[in-house]
């Protein structure tokens, strides 16, 4: 129907995408089929990464040369091999929190393929921030850090406090939020969470702050870490990637190209016997 309307208006329909990134869940891969049938132009200049070697690595990831891309990051010290998953989680959590202090104005995201890993990273980062006094605990007396409240979400009970990172998991036109959108909690109340949206995202009235009515919209979670699927299309200054054996070259391509400045990849030797 949409294509018919374009034809009727005498307009031109331009499709933009990258079929080497995350693959369609259903059968068919329609975008790739259309590109092969009608032809396509290809963007060849990498604009997100700044360092030349990172730009070349991004081209390698996009061109089925995953090993070459990983080798470049390994050569620059951006791949950390740990004994096991627990040590990997500790390293990601420590580096993420340290990065907040070292580069407070930078944007950052941790990511993993498996939801269990995402939940573990989020929980670990929150606990570390609470231990440092940067985030309120439910047991804290009222003070400068405010309070921590628990909410029912689509993924179970979650606690939030001012300063928490939050990710939205479903589109909502009335709230002007989209699946995968990130923000920072600026205030919590029993029936609502106020969120300042990241980047240039705005609500319908042109503001960057949105109030989430938690009784009617519950598709949100902690946003220090998200799944790789949620980060497709995102750009941050620094990213932290937990590697797992469930990742293929498409997932690796997306995970290793979300950053402007730096990405760190973490892997456990209990799952990956060698770097190769």
- The predicted model scores a pTM of 0.86
Percent of the chain with pLDDT strictly greater than 70: 83
Would 21 be classed as within a structural domain? yes
> How confident is the prediction for the chain on average, in pLDDT?
89
Average pLDDT value for residue range 84-110? 97
Question: What pLDDT does residue 138 have?
Answer: 74
Would 149 be classed as within a structural domain? no
Question: What pLDDT does residue 151 have?
Answer: 97
Question: What pLDDT does residue 272 have?
Answer: 86
Q: For residue 145, is pLDDT > 60?
A: no
Q: For residues 160-177, b (16+ Cβ closer than 10 Å) or e, as one string? A: bbbebbbbbbeebeebbb
Would 14 be classed as within a structural domain? yes
More confident residue, 86 or 143: 86
pLDDT band with cut points at 50, 70 and 90 for residue 7: confident
Would 30 be classed as within a structural domain? yes
Would 8 be classed as within a structural domain? yes
Q: Are strands 165-168 and 182-189 parallel, antiparallel or unpaired?
A: antiparallel
Separation CA 86–CA 216 (nearest Å): 36
Question: What pLDDT does residue 3 have?
Answer: 79
- CA distances (Å), origin 181, targets 20, 145, 166, 176, 265: 23, 24, 9, 10, 23
pLDDT single digits (tens) 195-238: 999 987 655 566 689 999 999 999 999 999 999 999 988 899 99
Q: For residue 274, is pLDDT > 70?
A: no
Question: What pLDDT does residue 139 have?
Answer: 60
What is the token pair recorded at 174?
A: 């009335």
Average pLDDT value for residue range 150-161? 97
Q: For residues 79-109, b (16+ Cβ closer than 10 Å) or e, as one string? A: bbbbeebebbbebbbebbbebbeeeeeebbb
Question: What pLDDT does residue 25 have?
Answer: 54
Q: Domain tally for the chain? A: 1
Containing domain of residue 11, as a range?
Answer: 1-43
Would 26 be classed as within a structural domain? yes
pLDDT single digits (tens) 49-77: 999 999 999 999 999 999 999 999 999 99
pLDDT band with cut points at 50, 70 and 90 for residue 23: low
């Amino acid at each position: 129907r949409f294509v018919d309307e374009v034809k009727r208006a005498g307009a031109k329909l331009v499709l933009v995408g990258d079929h080497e990134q995350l693959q369609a869940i259903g059968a068919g891969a329609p975008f790739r089929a259309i590109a092969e049938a009608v032809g396509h132009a290809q963007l060849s200049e990498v604009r997100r990464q700044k360092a030349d070697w990172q730009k070349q690595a991004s081209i390698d990831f996009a061109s089925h040369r995953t090993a070459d891309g990983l080798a470049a990051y390994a050569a620059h010290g951006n791949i950390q091999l740990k004994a096991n998953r627990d040590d990997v989680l500790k390293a990601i959590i420590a580096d993420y929190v340290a990065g907040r202090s070292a580069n407070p104005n930078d944007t950052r995201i941790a990511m993993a393929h498996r939801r269990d890993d995402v939940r573990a990273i989020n929980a670990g980062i929150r606990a570390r921030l609470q231990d440092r006094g940067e985030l309120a605990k439910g047991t804290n007396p009222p003070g400068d850090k405010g309070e921590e409240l628990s909410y029912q979400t689509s993924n179970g009970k979650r606690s939030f406090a001012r300063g928490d990172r939050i990710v939205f998991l479903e589109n909502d036109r009335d709230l002007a939020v989209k699946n995968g959108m990130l923000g920072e909690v600026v205030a919590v109340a029993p029936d609502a969470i106020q969120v300042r949206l990241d980047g240039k995202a705005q609500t319908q009235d042109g503001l960057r702050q949105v109030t989430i009515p938690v009784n009617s919209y519950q598709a949100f979670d902690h946003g220090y870490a998200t799944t790789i699927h949620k980060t497709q299309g995102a750009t941050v200054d620094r990213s932290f990637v937990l590697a797992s054996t469930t990742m293929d070259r498409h997932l690796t391509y997306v995970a290793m190209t979300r950053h402007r400045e730096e990405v760190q990849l973490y892997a456990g030797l209990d799952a990956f016997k060698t770097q190769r």
